[in-house]
Chain A
């Protein structure tokens, strides 16, 4: 069977699973619909929170972004996980203690004000709306790659499926689809990461391979040292050094932290557990599940960057191009043959550059670049 058929089968099965869960967990009451009857065990809630939290942006785009930003990419890593600490310490337990359904409920009651409540509703909707845009872009990219449709069609397919299971299962349905999604997501993220780590450093744990020596095929030496060296050679910034000023990084990180602590779809998760203790506990589990991906992502970023530069240096752009017909059709990898040379040219200088890789597909194309798939 062709890869295409396998892809269809897997995509179909995954969605079958989500819809199945939605049907199994049909919401029967208001409390079921909004907070899953406050009966979600903390471990499951932790997984669901992690999946909600990470979804498309972290899964698809973050490692790619970091691989272009180098050390500056840190503000995403620390910003998002660090904000989680604020959420777990300052918000989650108290909101659960309050015991109603939503944050606007809390604001309205706490400040005895309908206006405050309205403002909170407005904020929650704006945040969710902006957030969904990013997620839908992610869904579009994934579908455009795997089903070979264009991004708009991809977005519509994704939306239809989400709408179906969210309306049907309410919070309980979403919680358990998120648990399933977490398992799918972490598996899909970790397997290529582990293989690439083994391929490049011989160490199966990406977090350790990140700081280990490269295998002979990749030119020995510590991965990060080699990456720094190669980046400088091509005129890019040194990977492990920051390019932005310290105050930029400081305030971007702070903004991401406070923003993260306020994500409405994550906050509402803490209303779904039985009590305050479980709210605290599920916050802890969630961060563990998040950290698995968030500590792997910078490793994947460094592997991808090293790999990309390495491969580009040793094969001609034409050879290289033939390996990526699918990706080229999404316009996310752009080849620009300027020179007929044995080695292709990737350079910080746009006039010499022959290869443009969109940050969003770094993670998805990474196994193909490394030759794992």
Chain B
């Protein structure tokens, strides 16, 4: 992988991770802990909203986050043509110029 595309791959990687972690923080620490009493003023069915997020909702969000991550990273790997054949330790693919241009 050329330095340039390695760098831009890494940049996109970091961007994906950071934005997912922002959601992670907002839901768990934000809604589940810091804002829980405010959210408790709303109800869904028999649950107070804050309580529900803290004990149920946050966990569902975590699951969704990981699957979004899997999807985005697979797409990113495809875009940079990262083949992950069995047992290779450091995927070192050749980037075809055409696919790089597709991506842009």
Contacts and interface: CB of A to CB of B under 8 A. Distances in A.
Contacts of A295: 56, 59-60
Interface bracket on B: 35 or more
Interface stretch (B1-9, B30-38, B93-101): B30-38
Given A85-B66, A99-B90, A298 B55 contact: yes
Interface string B58-93: 111011011101100110010000001111111100
A71 B29 CA distance: 14
Secondary structure type dominating chain A contacts: helix
Interface string A65-89: 0100001011001100110111011
B11 to A, nearest CB: 16
Contact of A78 (B45, B54, B69, B87): B54
A38 interface: yes
A281 B48 CA distance: 33
A198 to B, nearest CB: 16
Contact of A242 (B29, B36, B91): B36
B29 to A, nearest CB: 6
Contact of B33 (A88, A241, A246, A284): A246
A93 B73 contact: yes
Contacts of B32: 74, 78, 253
A283 interface: yes
A29 interface: no
Contact of A277 (B34, B36, B74): B74
10 contacts: A81-B59, A93-B73, A97-B90, A211-B44, A212-B46, A240-B40, A241-B40, A242-B36, A280-B69, A291-B60
Given A97-B91, A250-B29, A275-B85, 11 more contacts: A86-B24, A88-B66, A88-B69, A89-B65, A98-B89, A224-B48, A240-B40, A240-B51, A253-B32, A283-B66, A295-B60
Interface of B: 17, 20-21, 24, 28-29, 32-34, 36-37, 40, 44-48, 51-52, 54-56, 58-60, 62-63, 65-67, 69-70, 73-74, 77, 84-91
> 6 tightest A-B contacts by CB?
A222-B46, A99-B89, A211-B46, A275-B84, A298-B55, A74-B54
